[in-house]
Amino acid sequence: MPKIFKFTEFSLRDLIVTAGPMALLIIVLCYGAYRLVDPTPPRHVVISTGQENSAYEEFGKKYAASLSQFGIKVTLKPSLGSQENLQRLNDPESGVDIAFVQSGSTEHEEAERSGLVSLGSLFTEPVWLFFRESRHLTQLTQLKGMKVNVGAEGTGVPKLFKTLLSVNGLEPGDVKMSQLENTPATVELLAGRIDALVFSSAPDALLIQMLLQTPGIKLFDFTQAEAYSRRFPYLSHVVLPRGIVDLGRNLPPKNVHLIAPTATLVAREDLHPALIDLFVQSAVAIHGGAGWFRKQGEFPNASYTEIPVVPDAEKFYRDGPPFLQRYMPFWLANFFQRMWVVIVALGALILPLSRIVPPLYVWKVRSRVYRWYGQLRTVEQLIEDVPPEKRAEVYPAQLRRLREIEEKVNQISIPLSFADELYRLRSHINLVRKRIVWLSESKS
């Protein structure tokens, strides 16, 4: 007795066979695109900051706290200052990804050759020239013959201060310059062993705050600050307002004019774009408020830097956060922001491929039926071509062959929607059987 047909609602096996290669191709393409676009940034970044008790050190801690909210571990690497930070950025073996750099520390062409980019200016770093009150300094030319600490060679101050001396007609040898770090230099000034010291730092630095309130120590007033800012584009003219240090004690007792480069965030051009976005957002949160030398929202910005600013950072400062980041968590917005081109391209690829799969599926299912027609046609051809005298030998064997074909056909598992194909095959098998019987009877 023949076996019952195996009908199913749907052939998962055939779908896997037909759609599998295309699905695998799409998965490979998606993986390749993901690796190429690389939407997920590294989870660890190294910042080169500055000396102990410096503004760079304090701000570095704030960036570490800000990025830790997004699961990014930030390692702070102390340095002497701007020049050493630049050296580290130019050295791939240093392990430094991003650093604080003072404007005027390098040239535009040199930065481009080195593959450095700026994330914008963060805050002004006034040049603080503190001196012992007994010296009565009113002009930089009066520094001739004095002992002045200009900071360690790794900072940006020595280069800047020598430039200031040169435009005042002084040679480096006219001033007895020492290069102590900020903290020991402050000790030397308070002890009277040097006449003056020079910082370039935000007012947040603890040493600046202390010296501004120390009796016997005065801050030099750059009365020609506007002229300096015109001569050197990376310098700006800022004013330390009267009483801002201590209103009750009226410190300082008058407005003090200062010249100020700006602190910038500088990175290698291969820094992951998502990390750039995080640093820019953190910069706005950390430096966007009002301060001694800035108005609300004045910093950070894309000005006052000779190093090319990353276009994404410039756009952020001009227009605010990208559209998606206003309504989505950062990581999700970053993923879609970086992957949208790939998603559209894959969509354009998947659409035509998806139209190929249904016909292939139909062909695959029907092929399980159609392949038996070849054997059925072979049987039919044999009985047509056999001479009448040999039919008795051939017909019984072909009838047995038909039974074998029918038994195998009855074992076919096929979706119900294709059952008519199976029944049609069975009727054709029966038709060939009747023909064999008819030919056998006609002989007799």
* Nearest partner of 143 among 177, 193, 191, 179, judged by Cα: 177
266-to-62, 247, 297, 342 alpha-carbon distances in Å: 17, 36, 21, 29
Percent of the chain topping pLDDT 70: 87
216-270 residue pLDDT tens = 999 999 999 999 999 988 888 999 999 999 999 999 999 999 999 989 999 998 8
Q: What is the pLDDT of residue 260?
A: 92
Phi and psi angles of residue 195, each rounded to the nearest 5 degrees, phi first: -90, -30
Q: Which of 1-10, 116-125, 397-406, 422-431 has the lowest mean pLDDT?
A: 1-10
Q: Is the torsion defined by CA of 211, 225, 307, 315 positive or negative? A: positive
- The answer for residues whose C-beta is within 8 angstroms of residue 232's C-beta and 6 or more apart is 104, 163
The phi-psi region of residue 223 (left if phi > 0; otherwise alpha if psi is between -120 and 50; otherwise beta) is alpha
Higher model confidence: residue 209 or residue 172? 209
Q: Which amino acid makes up residue 146?
A: M
Do 269 and 119 meet the contact criterion of CB atoms below 8 Å apart? no
Mean pLDDT rounded to a whole number for the chain: 84
Q: What is the pLDDT of residue 71?
A: 86
265-274 residue pLDDT tens = 999 988 888 8
338-391 residue pLDDT tens = 666 666 767 777 777 777 777 777 777 788 788 888 888 888 887 777 776 676
163-189 residue pLDDT tens = 999 999 998 889 999 999 888 999 999
Q: Is the torsion defined by CA of 219, 222, 225, 228 positive or negative? A: negative
d(CA 273, CA 257): 39
Would you say residue 118 has pLDDT above 90?
Answer: yes
Structure tokens that stand for 354 in this block: 């998806």
Would you say residue 40 has pLDDT above 80?
Answer: no
Q: What is the pLDDT of residue 243?
A: 93
Q: Which of 67-81, 86-100, 415-429 has the lowest mean pLDDT?
A: 415-429
Phi and psi angles of residue 39, each rounded to the nearest 5 degrees, phi first: -75, -15
- Cis, peptide link before residue 396, omega less than 30° from 0: no
In the chain, DSSP finds a helix count (H) and a strand count (E) of 13, 14
- The answer for residues whose C-beta is within 8 angstroms of residue 91's C-beta and 6 or more apart is none
